Amino acid sequence: MYTKENLTRIKKMNELAPDLMKAFWAFDKAAVAAGAIPVKYKELIAVAVAVTTQCPYCIEIHTANARNAGANDTELTEATMVAAALRAGASVTHATHALAN
Percent of the chain with pLDDT over 90: 95
Q: How many CA atoms lie within 13 A of 72 on its CB side?
A: 1
CATH number, domain containing residue 74:
1.20.1290.10
Domain range for 61 is 35-101
Residue 101: its pLDDT value, please?
87
Shared-domain flag, residues 27 and 65 = no
pLDDT-derived band of residue 98, with 50, 70 and 90 as boundaries? very high
Q: For residue 32, is pLDDT > 90?
A: yes
Q: What is the pTM assigned to this prediction?
A: 0.89
- The domain tally of the chain equals 2
What is the rounded average pLDDT for all residues in the chain? Answer: 96
What is the structure's pLDDT at 2?
A: 80
